[in-house]
Structure 1
Amino acid sequence: MSETSIFSEFERELGKKVSFDKEQIAKYSVAPYVVSPILSKLSKGILGIVNVFDEDDLRITLQLAYKHNIPLVLRGRGTSTIGQVIPLKPSIIVDISNFSNTLTIDKDYVTVYPGNKVIDVLKYLRKRGKTLKVYPSSLYISTIGGYISGGDVGIGSFQFGYHFHAGIRYLKVLSSDGKTIEVRGIDTLGFAQAAGTNGAITEAEISIMNEDDWKDQLVSSDNLIEILETIKILPREKVRRVTIEDSRALSLVGRLEGLRKWNLIVSSTLKVGNEINAKFLDELAFAAAYVTFSKISNFKNFFYEVRLLSLEEFYDVVSEIKKSLGDEVMIHGDVMTLRGKIIIYTVFMSEKSNFRLIEDVMRRKGIPFEIHSIYINDRVDEPERLELMKKYKRLLDPKDILNPGKLRLDT
């Protein structure tokens, strides 16, 4: 069957929910967040767009794509910074941002749908004295479905680590041919962070907690060791969020004056520093940091890299890089607790030409230095979760129609 005939079948079944208009395709070819310039070049193009509003729309789309072997890429608001919505084969984009339903909660969980906006979920919960245990820095525009299937860390990761370890109780998932399965317990980890490569999530139950009165506080020092020692003694149950900024980064985005070389922003119910109005914090969390600084820094050729570093690695690497580059490099670090260990999500931002030096420091310290990989395999740091992803890929998408090429089954 010709491509024209296939597209006509999509239009016949889905009506105005499907578009092959060039202007619409151009709109969906641009992501609102910064994506690695290397990954951006990998895109193979968009064939068309399907806007799904409910499970029936999504099932029809999947069945048509399965019938004609048309690749699909599910997309929320496109806030991924590491290429999850970049098609590696010419694909139809399935926009799930309008796939929403009424939220419900019990004591410990909220039931959500892929198109529910994260900010709307948070507003709903806060009216009831609750909040998500972990949520993304892109909360104002991202969808909860995109975060579940594409995200990992976020606000709250100092307490709970990855969002999926904070708790997913239940997922309802459609296979590439439109069949429904229900997943509970540990098997839900096979879909979190899988970027929709092994199934389309249509409903989820994720964990919540009581919302406390967190105060944003600033601790400053010219001594980086003092900052890192402070982090070691912070009690996780009383601290929601911890961020390290060098003076240039914080003065630029926070418009604060008189800062010392290193600054620790702590959101806590305890008194740990000087209370500040840190509304700008959401502009700095995790991936939001390099998105924000790409817009406001005066670097002529802005570039960034990210590494997960232990406290000791952070001190060694950052000290040497700062010694060489000073304020020519900005350092941002979100502090997380992953599997019981303190890890800093460290962002280096500078002129692209300076990354030769930064790369050299990393290699001499024994820390691999490479741009984000397009492959899910290279981002999943728990073999058991990766094997679950592969298991469900083989079971639910044997023709590799869903976000094809990004989950390797051979490694």
Structure 2
Amino acid sequence: MMISLQSLEKEFGDKFDSSDQTIRRYSYSPYLVSPVINKLWNKVLGIIYAEDEDDVKHAISLVSSLGISIVAFGSGTSTIGQIVPLKPSIMIDLKKMNGILQADKEGIVVKPGTTVLDILKTLRKKGLDLMVYPSSFYMSTIGGYIAGGDVGIGSFQYGYYFDAGIKYFKLIGSVKEKTISNSDVFGVAQAAGTTGIVTEIGLPVSEKNDWKDYLLRFENLMDLVKLLSEFDKNTVRRITIEDDITLRKIAGNRIEKIGKWNLMVSSSKKVSGEEVDLRFLDELAFAAIYVTMSKLSNLKEYFYEVRLLTTEEFYYVVTELKGILGNNVFIHGDVMTINGKIIIYTVFISERDNFKKIDEVMTKHGIPFEIHSIEINDRVDSEFRLEIMKKLKTEMDPRDIINPGKLRL
């Protein structure tokens, strides 16, 4: 492998780094808290700091000729293992490939290393906003979010971010480059960078609204669930559900009164409930909750699982599990609208031994989902999108050079 590294040093100069300190930094992520995926890391051989498309093309070509793999890296905030090399690999850091090329009512065009926070700042100065964005907006890059995420703030209004209408991607594979548009964008979004490396992104935007946060407290979970269908997607940005023990952990002394069940609503119009400053919860949505709770929960053997549940499934599963485990299971839910139906991104957090019982309940209700799988096939909930990913992978990277081993064909 020494010959390979010498070749990369010769070709990229100071854009290439294989020092021990750098290798250690890129071989760990504080946001990857899955005890299953964390064990799968392979050693990173070195880092290429790409500055433009030519660097990306040259890097892919060179590692391919050397018989090694390449994995794209943004800010490293993924919780699903998209930056975990399953084979000895070179990482290509895209943070220097940043910048906003267009930002107006027609949409925004950005480079992949641009932070979501910079995008939001630019748009909001113009009275605009991203339709859906991640809870890690303050540090994540847009390229990393596109590759790994699929939900976020705004998902109650628009569903998955790709359902909001991605305009196009510029994609570089190991055998060709291509501009991806129309339904083919589903072959890139949520594909963990396996179908190619994105060098430019066109996204739709929405008008900016002034949101206020409201806290609604319930003693009965059924009353909370019934209310979900009454919220207006035109005025409500996000809805979050917390049981009492979870909200106490994450809110600390920032919320004075907490109910047995708590519904937090961000809306541009007044809703029932107490108006409270809940802006800190934007950083605790979806996957961020299990990263945060891994630090706050004091569980001896911390473990979590995620299920996408209908409101009916949410009520019956959560009620049953609370009856069995009580306060030994933490419950968090982010409410989305998928294909016109209310779906709750439900996170269960507990001691690992308790998941034998949790999985029994899930199996009984016929609810599959595998958040701890490194393979995309186990997380994508649409066979249509998965087939597009497979087709694009075969077309763009037939030898599985780019982020290999994560998409079963």
Output the TM-score relative to the length of structure 1: 0.96
For 1:168, what is the secondary structure of its paired residue?
coil
Q: Quick one: distance in 2 between partners of 1:171 and 1:57?
A: 18
Deviations 1:298-327 (A, max 9, x none): 222221111111101100010011112222
Q: Which residue of 1 aligns with 2:280?
A: 280
Q: Name the count of aligned residue pairs.
A: 406
- Shift of residue 139 of structure 1? 0.8
The match for 1:216 among 205, 213, 217 is 213
Q: Which residue of 1 aligns with 2:245?
A: 248
Q: How does 1:104-253 map to 2 (within 5 A)?
A: 104-177=102-175, 179-253=176-250
2:104 touches 2:126 (CA, 8 Å); kept in 1?
no
Q: Which residue of 2 aligns with 1:91?
A: 89
**Structure 1 segments unaligned to the other structure (5+ residues):** none
Q: Which residue of 1 aligns with 2:309?
A: 309
1:52 touches 1:94 (CA, 8 Å); kept in 2?
yes
Q: Quick one: distance in 2 between partners of 1:46 and 1:169?
A: 33
For 2:335, what is the secondary structure of its paired residue?
strand
Deviations 1:134-154 (A, max 9, x none): 001111111000111111000
Deviations 1:264-283 (A, max 9, x none): 00001122121101122123
Q: Quick one: distance in 2 between partners of 1:371 and 1:126?
A: 33
- Shift of residue 5 of structure 1? 2.0
Q: Quick one: distance in 1 between partners of 2:319 and 2:106?
A: 42
1:359 touches 1:369 (CA, 8 Å); kept in 2?
no
**Range with greater deviation from structure 2 (95-104 or 208-217):** 95-104
Q: Quick one: distance in 1 between partners of 2:77 and 2:55?
A: 23
Q: Quick one: distance in 2 between partners of 1:149 and 1:258?
A: 39
**Structure 2 segments unaligned to the other structure (5+ residues):** none
Q: Which residue of 1 aligns with 2:335?
A: 335
Q: Which AA in structure 2 matches 1:45?
A: K
Output the TM-score relative to the length of structure 2: 0.96
- Shift of residue 360 of structure 1? 2.1
- Shift of residue 363 of structure 1? 2.1
Q: Which residue of 2 aligns with 1:24?
A: 22
The match for 1:38 among 31, 36, 39 is 36
**1:56–1:388 CA distance, 2 compared to 1 (3 A):** same
Q: Quick one: distance in 2 between partners of 1:368 and 1:324?
A: 20
Deviations 1:87-110 (A, max 9, x none): 111111111122112341232310
Q: Which residue of 2 aligns with 1:324?
A: 324
- Shift of residue 112 of structure 1? 0.8
Q: Which ranges of 4 or more aligned residues in structure 1 deviate by more than 6 Å?
A: none
Q: Quick one: distance in 1 between partners of 2:167 and 2:100?
A: 18
Q: Quick one: distance in 2 between partners of 1:369 and 1:173?
A: 29
- Shift of residue 369 of structure 1? 6.2
Q: How does 1:56-71 map to 2 (within 5 A)?
A: 56-71=54-69
Q: How does 1:372-391 map to 2 (within 5 A)?
A: 372-391=372-391
Q: Quick one: distance in 1 between partners of 2:158 and 2:390?
A: 25
Q: Quick one: distance in 2 between partners of 1:381 and 1:40?
A: 23
Q: Which AA in structure 2 matches 1:337?
A: T
- Shift of residue 180 of structure 1? 2.8
Q: Which residue of 2 aligns with 1:407?
A: 407
- Shift of residue 366 of structure 1? 2.5
Q: Quick one: distance in 2 between partners of 1:106 and 1:267?
A: 25
Q: Quick one: distance in 2 between partners of 1:353 and 1:107?
A: 51
CA RMSD in angstroms, aligned pairs only:
1.4
For 1:126, what is the secondary structure of its paired residue?
helix
Q: Quick one: distance in 2 between partners of 1:301 and 1:183?
A: 43
**Range with greater deviation from structure 2 (163-172 or 34-43):** 34-43
Q: Which residue of 2 aligns with 1:356?
A: 356
1:254 touches 1:278 (CA, 8 Å); kept in 2?
no
1:54 touches 1:100 (CA, 8 Å); kept in 2?
no
Q: Quick one: distance in 1 between partners of 2:129 and 2:30?
A: 26
Q: Which residue of 1 aligns with 2:80?
A: 82
